[in-house]
A and B are shown apart, each in its own frame.
Chain A
């Protein structure tokens, strides 16, 4: 070649360099992949070929305090899965249609769960849960029509007495993406069932147990590989939960409340155990698993009466005259005003430039403390409240737990509100005036309480200063051995500095409400002597004068050698157009039922109250 041997030699050197250099680079890259980062890829290869199938743990059952028949148990049911990769993409839409027809759901639901980006994947996707064995049999018999379709056991919850206790027990559902983000580190996986409200949510970690795992070595088609042993980590079943609820009293309370928006709390003041917790309107969690479950759920969610709200603990209302129990305690404890000092009620008082009218326009005449509470005389409490002053009233209210959580073991408890001068300044940009002091003295204005908080206030009077934390869990039990795992012992939450003598005086005054006061006409039960306080609370100032919340907070027996026998009952019925002052009437039936050991019908027929023309039957939202 004419361009010279030296040049040619140089070009061969270049050629050799290109060949060896490229091979060298490949080897360096392989060194990086296999030696430096080899471990990482080994791990990745294992996750690709080793699949972990969860073995669902049986969710714990829920019992009432007698722990005999469960309130909630599990029913066998199936989930249908689809592995889209098993089916050619072109045939998938037709398969969706067939599967939708078999499951009686719209085909668009399936298309939504199996979007085109998953069509090459062999990992099964859960299409729908709550499928009966019969539907599964139909699919199994026509398996050639359903390539890639499989199913697995996924028990659903059955809530035995539909409608009762729905708010307390709550319900379960599939974990949402948002919940998964929060709970991922606690071993929750996609597709797990999770408590959404009530006890199911509060004690989810106790009830759910621990899922087991099955490790399988699989090929790309998710087929198990023979020869490779399945490793099994057995599941631990969830613990049974025994509630403090007494099923009999719960039923009684629910039926006594009837189809009225409101709630009932029955609690044992000596321990804080909740014997009944009713709220209306309610819902039926069993229907969430039915075919029209999601429609039912949406309907409940937009219902203006908010059936999902547990009115006993999640709604706070102005306490009205029931607040006078707290005022009475304050007046007695303060001692600056003799309890025998009478106040003249002319039916109104002038304060500043405003006139405050007592509920009895004609006036009560002279009333002392006992008469004032018994007759619920507003003028008496306005006068006394004005003398005590806001600071002392607020301090006593705080001592009674107004504005702070009771600490019940149920999710979503409301705090209520204790308005203070600072609060009013900050939120309403107005100074605290004398009118505010008068308002709070009769439980009006901005002060709000949940029915449970009021029950705790009464419990404090009953226990002469002690408040036990209200609770719904009695104990948890190992379902296999029947042994108690956690015993939820009473927990003293608060001890008031007020003397027992003061509380005994308040008890007398509350007894007077029943014997000669406002509640005397409706509390007709002979089964037990009770003490309590009625309350009617204006919903919002300016609204129709007939629209009142109706309260009744009481306890019984008034006198007993055994304080363990005592129960506190708080009934709250929301304002309705036709005000029927239902709360004390319902409490009358509840006390009769509890202490005469009668059910609702028997209690009603014993009492023969004029206000129950026919026994109320039928509950639930429809």
Chain B
């Protein structure tokens, strides 16, 4: 019996995960080397501890039946929310220091674990309502489940972690069978809201004068009238749809609704987001706006990656990183060191390992033939996917700087443990499948 269960530790999942952990430790080690070639940081040692304890956690969750997790999902979710509230109260003093550093992943971050808790509870809710997800109210209730933690995390404020919940929700709802028009609506509103929130600052910082498209969108009066017009169109279209049941009325109302919702949300975002967070959105569009300040990280990171070439400069031989041009080397910008020192080939290896996790994960989930397992697995994979996409995209300058760590590779316990728990749950799903 013991033997069977050991063999059940999915070799692809565990192999890829452990390989990523190892690569992560190698480059955390490299990031601690200063220009004189001396190791000045003990982070790699701590990461070894995190990795080992993470493997233990993975094994525990692989053994722990996910059906048990389902039973407690509401309590786990509620407990997570309580921790977030607690962080909000206690973390305030830490916050000041954080905003000074820019971002930090030191200590336990409830926001990381909250993603697992939300996935478990949302999977339980969606599998419970079944096809009911196609009805708007039930779909919206699912949205509320993610919006509560999003709200609490935004108040911290940690924009990146808050954003991570959106793809989790959207992809889980997709698999659960939600209507595509609902999903597209939320996706478009989210993207448009962040774009609108950053445009005024972008416009002001780039110093463009005269009348321009961006200039018009920066003018709050014009924006107000535009929103009002969109709201009127939406209202009329909705009325028309009610009276005549014509399809184009519905899509008109849908499009108008996207604009109105995005406009309202961007206004809210501009009130909630701190200046430096809006600045990150802005420098994502144009890092050269502030090359010595906020844009510095991106410019240095892209330079590091680009200078890696095909083979890279060799492990421990990156110049950008060791001469301290790269910021947050061990956490947010670990990928830049990797790309600089191992080059394109090293990057292919890492992406290959992640792709292995995704494809293997999807096949496990699909084979489970069980709603709750499918949804939980999709949520976990979506979470890992979001971290990979946003983190590496940020280091290449094609995603905004959000302070999202690269799961399994970045230094830091919370993100690593969250990932390992997720992999453990996937393994458990895989084991259950073997039981059939």
Q: Which residues of A contact B398 (CB under 8 A)?
A: 29
Are A23 and B325 touching (Cβ within 8 A)?
A: no
* Main SS class of interface, A: helix
Q: Quick one: CB contact mask for A1-45 with B, threshold 8 Å, 1 for yes?
A: 111000111011011101110110011011101110111111011
Q: Knowing A23-B388, A117-B292 touch, does A219 contact B35 (C-beta < 8 A)?
A: yes
B339 lies within 8 A of chain A by Cβ: yes
- Chain B residues in 8 Å Cβ range of A41: 302-303, 305-307
**Any A CB within 8 A of the CB of B102:** no
Quick check: is B208 within 8 A (CB to CB) of the other chain? no
B396 at the interface (CB under 8 A from A): yes
Q: Please determine whether B303 and A19 come into contact, CB atoms closer than 8 angstroms.
A: no
Expressed in whole angstroms, the minimum distance between the Cβ of A14 and any Cβ of chain B is 7
| Residues of chain B contacted by A11 (CB below 8 angstroms) | 174-175, 177
Partner of B37, one of A1, A46, A219, A227: A227
Mask: chain B, 266-296; 1 = CB below 8 Å from A; 0 = not:
0000000000000000000000000011001
B362–A16 touching, CB < 8 Å:
yes
Cβ of B343 and Cβ of A26 under 8 Å apart?
Answer: no
Q: Judge whether A219 and B306 touch: CB under 8 Å.
A: no
Q: Is B414 in contact with chain A by the CB < 8 A criterion?
A: no
User: Quick check: is B70 within 8 A (CB to CB) of the other chain?
Assistant: no
Asked if B177 and A27 sit within 8 Å, CB to CB, the answer is no
Give B134's nearest chain A residue, CB to CB: A3
Question: 1/0 per position for B299-313, CB-CB distance to A under 8 A?
Answer: 010111111111000
Question: A121: CB under 8 A from chain B?
Answer: yes
Main secondary structure of the interface of B (DSSP, over half): helix
- B388-416 interface mask toward A, CB cutoff 8 Å, 1 = contact, 0 = none? 11001100101000000000000000000
Measured between alpha carbons, how far is A2 from B130 in the docked complex, in Å? 7
A218 within 8 A of B: yes
Q: Which single member of A2, A3, A23, A38 contacts B310 (CB below 8 Å)?
A: A38
B44 contacts chain A at the CB level, 8 A cutoff = no
A31–B36 touching, CB < 8 Å = no
B309–A3 CB distance below 8 A:
no
B303 with A226: CB separation less than 8 A = no
Which one of A26, A45, A217, A223 has the greatest number of beta carbons of chain B within 10 Å?
A: A45
Q: Confirm or deny: B324 has a beta carbon within 8 angstroms of a beta carbon on chain A.
A: yes
A168 to B362, CA, bound (A): 86
B366 adjacent to chain A (CB < 8 Å): yes
- Asked if B166 CB lies within 8 Å of chain A CBs, one says no
CB atoms of A31 and B344 under 8 A apart: yes
Minimum CB distance partner of A45 in chain B: B307
A439–chain B nearest beta-carbon distance, Å: 58
CA distance A515 to B225 in the complex (A): 99
Is B371's CB under 8 angstroms from A38's CB? Answer: no
Docked complex Cα distance between A41 and B130 (Å): 52
A122 CB to nearest chain B CB (Å): 10
Q: Which of A7, A19, A226 contacts B36 (CB 8 A)?
A: A226
- Measured between C-beta atoms, what is the minimum distance from B409 to chain A in Å? 14
A544 to B396, CA, bound (A): 80
Q: A11-B174, A219-B324 are in contact. Are A23 and B351 (CB under 8 A)?
A: yes
Q: Does B21 contact A (CB under 8 A)?
A: no
Q: Determine if A152 is an interface residue (Cβ-Cβ < 8 Å).
A: no
Q: Flag A462-489 by CB within 8 Å of B: 1 or 0 each.
A: 0000000000000000000000000000
CB-CB under 8 A from B176, the residues of chain A are 1
A37 to B355, CA, bound (A): 25
**A48 contact from B171, B325, B385, Cβ within 8 A:** B325
Task: List, in ascending order, chain A residues with CB within 8 A of B304's CB.
Answer: 45
Quick check: is A546 within 8 A (CB to CB) of the other chain? Answer: no
In the bound complex, residues from chain A placing their C-beta under 8 Å from that of B322 are 219
Smallest Cβ-Cβ distance to A223: which chain B residue: B35
Question: Is A221 an interface position by the 8 A CB rule?
Answer: yes
Contact A3–B177 (Cβ < 8 Å): yes
A227 and B308 alpha carbons, distance in the complex (Å): 22
| Contact in complex: B309, A35 (CB < 8 Å) | yes
Q: With CB as the reference atom, state the residue of chain A lying closest to B361.
A: A19
Given the complex, which residues of B lie within 8 Å of A26, measured CB to CB? 351, 388-389, 392-393, 396
B138 CB, nearest partner CB in chain A, Å:
14
Residues of A near B366 (CB, < 8 A) are 9, 12
Given A22-B385, A22-B389, A44-B306, 20 extra CB contacts under 8 A:
A7-B177, A12-B175, A15-B171, A15-B175, A15-B378, A15-B381, A16-B359, A16-B362, A23-B358, A27-B348, A33-B302, A38-B306, A38-B308, A40-B306, A41-B307, A48-B303, A48-B325, A49-B320, A217-B319, A225-B36
A interface, CB within 8 angstroms of B: 1-3, 7-9, 11-12, 14-16, 18-20, 22-23, 26-27, 29-31, 33-35, 37-42, 44-46, 48-49, 117-118, 120-121, 217-221, 223, 225-227
Q: List 16 A-B contacts (CB under 8 A).
A: A3-B134, A12-B365, A15-B171, A15-B378, A19-B355, A19-B358, A26-B388, A27-B347, A33-B302, A34-B343, A37-B306, A42-B306, A45-B303, A48-B323, A49-B320, A219-B323
Across chains A and B, which 9 residue pairs bring their CB atoms closest together, nearest first?
A41-B306, A45-B307, A219-B323, A38-B309, A225-B35, A41-B307, A2-B131, A34-B344, A19-B358
